[in-house]
Structure 1
Amino acid sequence: MQLLTQPLGKLATQISGATRVFHQYKLDFCCGGQLSLAEALQKRGLETGPVLAALEALQQKPLAKDWRQAPAHELIDYILQRYHDKHRQQLPELIRLARRVEHVHSDSPDCPTGLADQLDAMLQELESHMQKEEQILFPMLRQGIYPAGPIHVMQQEHLQHGDELEKLDSLTDGIRLPLGACNTWTALYLGLRELKEDLMEHILLENEILFVQPAHGDGICCGSCQ
């Protein structure tokens, strides 16, 4: 595989552990997953050598689970449990921690002022998004129906989620703890990093695998995609 010419989204779904490398080098493999590795590295001004070496080493390891070969209903069940349920647990606690940090450390120049409100907005948007998937799109995909309209709406909302993650990064200096941060602040940023990684992997699985109509023709294209 010519790694440099492959889209980030494809590499993330075909090389086990690639997402960890992309997180390390701050390469957007979900909303920016259509960029080739070479384009993404150039955009961030990064050398190709270290990233290529890390990915080539990972290629020797098999995927823990190749979701490209799994039926849609199995991937949907995984997404619901692994991501939808988890996001609903993550965000309320992160909002609570953020409000505490903003209250106690409001006089610190490093205080992430506005973070709690940002997380609350993300919770509302994400909850609306997940409900639309659970109530409308996922039941259709389980039946082998791939409606272009609803899928496009979800993909556009994924782009919005990416924008919200950028705002989160901006408020937290790239989710970097200041020196001497208290335990609450440390727990908050640890949770933020986990949320960001989970959300990016969530979007990746949907955009690159779940929303792609099977090539063997089992999927049924609804009238909206004609």
Structure 2
Amino acid sequence: MSTPASTLDQSLGSLARSIPGATALFDASGLDFCCAGNKTLRKAAAENGLDAEALAARLDAMRGGPAEGRDWRAAPAAELIDHIVERYHARHREQLPELIRLARRVEQVHGERPDCPAGLADHLEAMRQELESHMMKEEQILFPMLARGMRPQAAGPISVMRFEHEQHGDALEGLSALTNGIVTPSGACNTWRALYLGLATLRDDLVNHIHLENNILFDESAAAEVSHA
């Protein structure tokens, strides 16, 4: 039995926001459903050397399964915005200062080791500054516009935020390169282990944060999918 073409030819973003568990499958497969969420499953799988038919079959099996959290497509924009600010913006502001502190400690104490993530603290500091600027623009300019239903006027700011999301994706790639995929090396001390655990959480939070904005809040088709379901 062949896999329905509709699944293969839907975008990663659409699949991620409509099938519970899809985001975990994409993450495990190395498929970027946030910054590259406009690519079809067929194209993304081909570019990454993955079996698109097998992935589509697993996604089809997930359809109709138990929901993992709330379906934010059906929420009013203002409610989703509140969730993003409280769950992700506030969290990033807590995470990064501590991660920077831990990274500087690891670099100072273990700088002689070849697997020490040299330059990680500076990279995280740059991420912190970029994220803070980005989040402030959303909170002060874009989010109030969307909450008031001013979507046509928000087209320009949305475009800017999408571009900056791509930059955040590049920063995550740099983070992965500095830390060997955020894999804790053998013999790492407790501080090093805590650092990498925090980095993995930051990565997952930022990916899901961008997904909610790019594929639901900024995407008018998300609401249409719900209304026509």
TM-score, structure 1 as length reference = 0.90
**Of 43, 46, 54, which aligns to 1:42?**
46
| Change beyond 3 A, Cα 1:98–1:54 | farther
Structure 2: runs of 5 or more not aligned: 225-229
Shift of 1:47: 2.6
Equivalent residue letter for 2:164: E
The answer to whether the aligner puts 1:7 opposite 2:11 as a matched pair is yes
**Of 30, 38, 62, which aligns to 1:26?**
30
Shift of 1:52: 3.5
Q: 1:1-226 to 2 correspondence within 5 Å?
A: 2-48=6-52, 51-63=55-67, 64-146=69-151, 147-213=154-220
2:31 partner SS = coil
Shift of 1:49: 5.4
Shift of 1:48: 3.3
| Change beyond 3 A, Cα 1:149–1:192 | same
Q: How big is each residue's C-alpha offset from its partner over 1:48-92, in whole Å with a ceiling of 9 and x where there is no partner?
A: 355345433432424331111110000001001110000001111
| Pairs aligned (count) | 217
Equivalent residue letter for 1:142: A
Task: Work out the CA distance in 2 between the residues paired with 1:48 and 1:181.
Answer: 38
Task: Work out the CA distance in 2 between the residues paired with 1:58 and 1:98.
Answer: 39
Task: Work out the CA distance in 2 between the residues paired with 1:215 and 1:54.
Answer: 22
Aligned to 2:227: none
Equivalent residue letter for 1:29: F
Percent of aligned pairs with the same residue?
59
1:133 partner SS = helix
How large is the Cα RMSD of the aligned pairs?
1.9
Q: How big is each residue's C-alpha offset from its partner over 1:132-187, in whole Å with a ceiling of 9 and x where there is no partner?
A: 01011111111100111111111111111111111111111111121222221111
Q: How big is each residue's C-alpha offset from its partner over 1:12-47, in whole Å with a ceiling of 9 and x where there is no partner?
A: 111112111111111111111111112111111123
Task: Work out the CA distance in 2 between the residues paired with 1:22 and 1:212.
Answer: 20
Task: Work out the CA distance in 1 between the residues paired with 2:221 and 2:159.
Answer: 17
TM-score, structure 2 as length reference = 0.88
Task: Work out the CA distance in 2 between the residues paired with 1:173 and 1:50.
Answer: 28
Contact residue 99 and residue 195 of structure 2 kept, 8 A: yes
Task: Work out the CA distance in 2 between the residues paired with 1:84 and 1:155.
Answer: 16
Shift of 1:216: 8.4
Structure 1: runs of 5 or more not aligned: 218-226
